[in-house]
Amino acid sequence: MDLIQKYFPKLDETKLEELQKFSKYLLEWNAVVNLISRKDSEQIVERHILHSLSIVKFLEFKKPCRVMDLGTGGGFPGLPLAIFYPDVEFVLVDSIAKKIRVVDDIREKMNLKNVQAVCARAESIDGKFDFVVTRAVAPLIKLNGWVKEKISSKHNHSLKNGIIALKGGDLKGELSSFGHRVEQVPISTYFEEEFFESKSVVYLSY
């Protein structure tokens, strides 16, 4: 967890231990259910946990806050964020049942009371959310179509409610139709490792 401490030097020991446990449980499950590649599993802290925590650098969640992680897969970015923000409610959503079984098992083992794991499509999830977070799930225009009715109109943060997506590559074409509503921040602004050079936090406001 040295890499986490490098960028979050004030993070308390308990949360570091929880991130370590999460890493352990995910790698155990990865031997049974293919969640991340073998190459990535060797770099799980950098390529998955720290990558997820770039959202923390972009925006600090404050309670009351409800966040949907759409297409959570093995729990990214939702589980690292839920560990970081125990007072924020996270609903982790994926349409693939075996992935949700993994997330739910890890949630139970870690006693993460602020996490709910749901096998469903975004449109069928009950209630409204301050933010929808996601990682490389779909183009922004599709994400917008899926969740625009799920974003709460009551704003509690320094930024308006919306989508916060972790994306890679050239995004000019994908983002152009959203005009001033969209903001792109290179993750290399926060983290110096080579892996993040082509990665961005993309924010779409509502």
Task: Report H helices in 8-162.
Answer: 13-30, 38-41, 44, 51-58, 78-84, 97-110, 140-147
Q: Helix 97-110 vs helix 13-30: angle between axes, to the nearest 10 degrees? A: 140
The pLDDT tens digits for 189-202 are 999 999 999 999 99
The pLDDT tens digits for 119-175 are 999 999 999 999 999 998 899 999 999 999 999 999 999 999 999 999 999 999 999
Check residue 199 and report its DSSP letter.
E
Kindly tell me if the per-residue pLDDT of 37 is higher than 80: no
Domains in the chain: how many in total? 1
Question: How many secondary structure helices (H) and strands (E) does the chain include?
Answer: 9, 7
pTM for this prediction: 0.96
Encoding tokens for residue 145? Answer: 């179509």
State the pairing for strand pair 199-205/182-186: antiparallel
Kindly tell me if the per-residue pLDDT of 35 is higher than 90: no
- Domain range for 128 is 2-205
Query: Looking at residue 147, which CATH number applies to its domain?
Result: 3.40.50.150
